[in-house]
Structure 1
Amino acid sequence: MEETWSNVDAYFNSKLHGADPDMDYILKANSEAGLPSIDVSPSQGKFLYLLAKLRGAKHILEIGTLGGYSSIWMARALPEDGKLITLEYSEKHAKVARENIRKAGLDEKIEVIVGPALESLPTLIGKGYSSFDLIFIDADKPNNPHYLKWALQLSKPGTLIIGDNVVRNGKVVEENSQDSSVQGSRALLDLLSTEPKIEATAMQTVGSKGYDGFVFGIVKE
């Protein structure tokens, strides 16, 4: 079944994306640097780009950079004076990401902040980033509920909050799972189900990245 999903992804890419040397370079650079192959797929990257366009995002926060693949997709949607802040735990990953960002010509629009996200997040207001139009959570899953709490603090009415990898190959339904990433996804969904400030839903996805999904929420007016 996964072969079919990947073939369909490839078909969509060939029809809807066209040649993209920058993105091809980034995936190759990430692989050569030994980064884990856990970037969003090209279709998912384009989807994030389109969501940022629809939202009219000027300020974007990303929690979890890896090699900057999703960062670059979203930053492409920013206006001339837009900014994307991305938080990355690993100095090695951040170094690769910065080179990829430079190669894509987006140095002025993307800032990579290195360190544990839960230490970096409290510093953002002091750096002049009091709220964001779009927040993408794609880091270590056990901390998902903490990231959501910070996302809500750094949001405003209309902010779009997106969480990645919430389906966990279907294991998210396993209440007694010993997998901390599954429990992190469940805790995120539990918080969303009771948080009055946000309206949310989740979508399952299949494709070249297997079986997973996103959760989406809009902060209420």
Structure 2
Amino acid sequence: MSQDQWNAVDRYLIEHLLPADPQLDAALLASDTAGLPAINVAPNQGKLLHLLARVAGARRILEIGTLGGYSTIWLGRALPDDGRLITLEADPAHAAVATDNLARAGLADRVDVRVGKALETLPLLEAENAGPFDLVFIDADKPSNLEYFSWALRLSRRGSVIVVDNVVRRGAIIDATTGDPSVDGTRRLFEHVSAEPRVTATAVQTVGGKGHDGFLLALVTADV
């Protein structure tokens, strides 16, 4: 199969299962206009995050890596009226775009955009007793995947769901010799998760508009 065929299949799926959404389209346009990299999740992947949050009955969500807030909107829409989402973004310019997009989507009252490096912000969340979170979505710099997952687990509870994006790296995940920090960081994540007794996890390869990649899905099965 080729990238063109993956793109065509994604378009078919999106046309049939995801109605037109002006707020999400506006978020993508604003991100593109501001020069943000086009690395947000695909629409059908965003809908998957939304459904996972609803299936989990999530009332508190943590997102590590906001970008322009596209995935944040999908997750925020899954929350009940009294739900709360905290999203962490290192780049102030990205956070500003996300804040505007979230306001346009009517989510400003339930989403808190925190600006700063996540590994500096996460200890502050612990200090303020912001958790436990019912769902954590990790989509930030890949060399720090293990550290982000460790914090996600620390801020979770039995029954929490942790999702890590971009874990297949176009298949490079099986190669220990690439020297790519993103691949190495993700391999460290897999090695850690495979030996972590407090979670049960799987990973799924994906192909589509975002190429060949995949995600890791973990369920917290013990008190943390």
TM-score by length of 1: 0.99
**Whole-angstrom distance in 1 between the partners of 2:71 and 2:190:** 22
**Whole-angstrom distance in 2 between the partners of 1:15 and 1:207:** 15
Could you tell me which amino acid in structure 1 is paired with residue 147 of structure 2? H
Could you tell me which amino acid in structure 1 is paired with residue 47 of structure 2? K
- Deviation (angstroms), 1:19: 1.1
Instruction: Return 5+ residue gaps in structure 2 as ranges.
Output: none
**Whole-angstrom distance in 1 between the partners of 2:8 and 2:219:** 32
Q: Equivalent residue of 2:126, what SS?
A: coil
Report what 1:134 is aligned to: 135
- Deviation (angstroms), 1:125: 2.6
Q: Equivalent residue of 1:79, what SS?
A: coil
- Deviation (angstroms), 1:176: 1.3
**Whole-angstrom distance in 2 between the partners of 1:145 and 1:12:** 32
Could you tell me which amino acid in structure 1 is paired with residue 3 of structure 2? E
**Whole-angstrom distance in 2 between the partners of 1:138 and 1:97:** 15
1:53 correspondence with 2:43: no
Deviations 1:56-87 (A, max 9, x none): 00000000000000011011000000001000
Q: Equivalent residue of 1:124, what SS?
A: helix
**Whole-angstrom distance in 2 between the partners of 1:86 and 1:130:** 13
Q: Equivalent residue of 1:87, what SS?
A: strand
Report what 2:97 is aligned to: 96
Deviations 1:34-62 (A, max 9, x none): 00000000000000000000000000000
Could you tell me which amino acid in structure 1 is paired with residue 121 of structure 2? S
Report what 1:63 is aligned to: 64
CA RMSD of aligned residues (A): 0.7
1:122 correspondence with 2:150: no
Could you tell me which amino acid in structure 1 is paired with residue 51 of structure 2? L
Given that 2:60 and 2:131 are in contact with CA atoms closer than 8 Å, whether structure 1 keeps it comes out as no
Summarize the alignment of residues 1-221 of structure 1 with structure 2, pairs less than 5 Å apart. 1-221=2-222
- Find runs of 4+ consecutive structure 1 residues off by over 6 angstroms: none
**Whole-angstrom distance in 2 between the partners of 1:32 and 1:63:** 23
**Whole-angstrom distance in 2 between the partners of 1:4 and 1:15:** 17
Deviations 1:181-214 (A, max 9, x none): 0001101111100000000000000111111000
- Deviation (angstroms), 1:130: 2.6
**Whole-angstrom distance in 2 between the partners of 1:104 and 1:217:** 29
Could you tell me which amino acid in structure 2 is paired with residue 123 of structure 1? L
**Corresponding pairs, count:** 221
TM-score by length of 2: 0.97
Work out the percentage of aligned pairs sharing the same amino acid. Answer: 52
**Whole-angstrom distance in 1 between the partners of 2:43 and 2:3:** 16
**Whole-angstrom distance in 1 between the partners of 2:213 and 2:82:** 34
Q: Equivalent residue of 1:125, what SS?
A: helix
Given that 2:199 and 2:218 are in contact with CA atoms closer than 8 Å, whether structure 1 keeps it comes out as yes
- Deviation (angstroms), 1:124: 0.6
Q: Equivalent residue of 2:152, what SS?
A: helix
**Whole-angstrom distance in 2 between the partners of 1:96 and 1:216:** 28
- Deviation (angstroms), 1:31: 0.5
